[in-house]
Structure 1
Amino acid sequence: MRKYGVADTTFSRVDMGKEAIRVISKEDPEAQIVRYTVPGIKDLPAAAKRLLDAGCDGVITLGWVGRTQLDKYSYIAASVGLIFVQIMTSKHVMDVTVHEDETNEERLAQVAIDRARKHALNLVRLVRDGPNSLTPLAGKGLRQGYEDAGSLD
């Protein structure tokens, strides 16, 4: 049985974990899903590692980055940590992050929900269908959180 990890934060202003779980449950209904909520983005690497150590085949991390320079530095540290977890485990960790200054506040919830859903689907495809499952989508200019940019071909 496949097992997915969903790690999210209390700092997030949208329940992206709930959205990711909905997608994973729909796309891979036989799979087990384990959720792990931590305070902030710098805690996500440990959560992801613990989920993978507990037998998850892949993890989606859902973080929220504030507007300050310190928040941005915290995100860089968390992102490097998540990359390190992937290297240590040879498993996918989808780093899904919303930055408060990327759009206006009214649009942020839509961005967060769309990004969580689309990356959850990407994780399912990689875990369930294998490493070449996204290859047919290469070069399409697909985006998470916004409209697709489209291919230049």
Structure 2
Amino acid sequence: MSKRVGICSTTFARFDMATAAIKQIKKQVDGVKFIESYVPGVKDLPVAAKILIEEEDCDIVMALGMPGGEKIDKLCAHEASTGLIQAQLMTNTHILEVFVHEDEGKDEKDLKQLAYNRATQHADNLVKMLFKPKALKKEAGMGIREGRENKGPL
């Protein structure tokens, strides 16, 4: 039986992280069935992810979004993140939160590269979680981050 991967993304995002993530996963594994869902903003992601798990039988979900840079956007991102954690606990299923805050980029080119990097590197994590869990053990304590330079081990 092939794995079912849920991809939920937002129309508010300024870069198509979902397509980048799907392409990255397809480079590494065959036979994955992608179930896609699109919602307006990050606060809509928790229920979309929960639906992908409970109604579409997804084995894992990526929730991709780009909160704005204003104070209210930070609050909304926090609330969305809390909702994603709650959805994980309710379903016993991993939901990889892939948020890129609009103010993380130095300029639009940097923001686009950051969004691509974060989406594809989290896609790599998804592949490891589903198909190569021992790879994650080797990376434990290495200060690996998605989107920017790794911090490295202490």
Q: Specify the code of the residue in structure 2 equivalent to 1:95.
A: E
Equivalent residue number for residue 67 of structure 1: 69
What RMSD, in angstroms, separates the aligned Cα atoms of the two structures? 1.1
**Higher mean C-alpha displacement, 52-61 vs 119-128:** 119-128
1:139 to 138, 141, 144: 141
**Does the aligned pair in 2 maintain the 1:2–1:128 contact within 8 Å?**
no
Aligned residue pairs, count? 151
Residues 20-31 of structure 1 aligned to structure 2 (within 5 Å): 20-31=21-32
Q: 1:76 aligns with which of 66, 75, 78?
A: 78
Matches within 5 A, 1:1-153: 1-53=2-54, 54-105=56-107, 106-130=109-133, 132-152=134-154
CA distance in 1, matches of 2:28, 2:93: 19
Q: Distance between the aligned counterparts of 2:24 and 2:93, measured in 1?
A: 20
For residues 35-67 of structure 1, the C-alpha deviation after alignment (integer angstroms, 9 at most, x for no partner) is 111110000001100111111000011110101
The offset of 1:29, in angstroms, is 1.4
TM-score (norm 2): 0.94
Q: Distance in 1 between matches of 2:11 and 2:131?
A: 29
Gaps of 5+ in 2: none
Amino acid aligned to 2:95: V
Secondary structure in 2 matching 1:82? helix
Partner Cα separation in structure 2 for residue 145 and residue 129 of structure 1: 21
Q: 2:94, 2:24 → 1: CA distance?
A: 17
Relative to the length of structure 1, the TM-score reads 0.94
- Residues 78-87 or 94-103, more deviating: 94-103
4+ residue runs of structure 1 moved beyond 6 angstroms? none
Unaligned regions of 5+ residues in structure 1, if any? none
